[in-house]
Structure 1
Amino acid sequence: MGTQQDVIAVLVTDHRAVEQMFAELDGMRGEIGEEAKILVEQVVIELTRHSIAEEAHLYPAVREHVQGGDKLADQEIAEHSDAERTMKRLEGLEPGDAGFWPAVDLLMSQIRAHVREEENDLFPRLREACPPEELRELGAKVERAQKIAPTRPRPAAPGASPAGKLTALGAGLVDRIRDALTGRGRS
């Protein structure tokens, strides 16, 4: 068994996987077939699991270890909420709908800006402030959280507990059952 990746490596790997899906979507621009819908569903599933794991484990560590961490974490969570509203809107659209591709473009723009901020500012600051062993422990926690997290966006009300999304384990189970029954996100 290999060494546990730290939280930053785990999250950067997720970022690259989503960017690869975005590149595929860019190549499908304007298509109205089922393939585009399935790929968007896959993006939404991955982003939802990723954001819930970040909110449950990464941002509390940022608050604890990084100077100005409360403000940073609040900003990142607000960006998640914006992206979740876009993902929720995408769930109700088909590739042939007039709003589908503009919503895809908005989501890609939101996520790309969020990733830049995390990778260029938040992650370096966390790496400097947090002990390596704790970063590895956080990596394991994030990976576990992603396995049980819900797969459908649930935009939180302002002031709601971000970790509350993860503690609703039943939602993750229900989402996975619904996904299996409907074939959501599977090509």
Structure 2
Amino acid sequence: MTTNVKHDVVDLLVDQHGQIKSLFGQLARAGGTQKRELFEDLVRLLAVHESAEEIVVHPSARRRIDGGDSVTERLRHEEDQAKHELHALYELGVDHPDFDARLAKLSDAVIAHATREETEEFPSLRKSLSSAQLSRMAGALRVAEATAPTRPHPHTGESAAANLVAGPPLAVFDRVRDAVRDWREKHRDQED
């Protein structure tokens, strides 16, 4: 994730959208171990990104922009659908014969969603908030990302409140699971 403190929240999110698009592109061309590793990176980035948006960005957009309720509700619904599909793909695994086709559909949906955020939500935030407020939101987003789960948990809900309550304990669980998985991968050669 981008850590440049000079970024405001919109810059930070647009940078992350670029990272997500890049990972989808790399995944479409990858195979074997690289494909699995890239998918795990994508899962982590999307899970953290969406949770943080639900906690920090959408509530502010709902309050601050014209039609904010309908815009954020549609975006949250799209994020919830993506979270469910990402979870299903994670459970399916990169070697499953349906994985690539389902990943391509998810990629199209996530990229279309990011474009909607960048054209509908983000410009309105820039108009309605000062640069200082947008910078503070970037700080809040980074804090939310630090405590967000690294896996999609579609049954926790899609609201800011659900993410604030469930996010930190799930994040601890996910990060422990990630560390164990990474340790196993690192030591797999030694076991053989």
- TM, length-normalised to structure 2: 0.87
The CA distance in 1 between the partners of 2:94 and 2:43, in whole Å, is: 15
1:17 — aligned with what?
A: 19
How far 1:162 moved relative to its partner? 3.3
- Between structures 1 and 2, the one with greater helix share: 2
Equivalent residue runs for 1:73-152 within 5 Å: 73-152=72-151
The CA distance in 2 between the partners of 1:11 and 1:127, in whole Å, is: 13
Report if the CA contact (8 A) 2:55-2:159 is conserved: no
- TM, length-normalised to structure 1: 0.89
- CA spacing shift, 1:43–1:3, aligned 2, 3 Å: closer
The CA distance in 2 between the partners of 1:57 and 1:3, in whole Å, is: 17
- Report % sequence identity: 29
Report if the CA contact (8 A) 2:24-2:107 is conserved: yes
> How well do the aligned residues superpose, as a CA RMSD in angstroms?
1.9
2:10 — aligned with what?
A: 8
1:62 — aligned with what?
A: 61
- AA of the residue aligned to 2:154: P
The CA distance in 2 between the partners of 1:99 and 1:183, in whole Å, is: 26
The CA distance in 2 between the partners of 1:173 and 1:136, in whole Å, is: 27
Question: Larger relative contact order (C-alpha < 8 A, sep ≥ 6)?
Answer: 1
Instruction: Note the residue ranges of structure 1 that are not aligned, 5 or more in a row.
Output: none
Report if the CA contact (8 A) 2:8-2:136 is conserved: yes
How many residue pairs were aligned? 181
Report if the CA contact (8 A) 1:53-1:166 is conserved: no
**Residue aligned with 2:94, SS:** coil
2:190 — aligned with what?
A: none
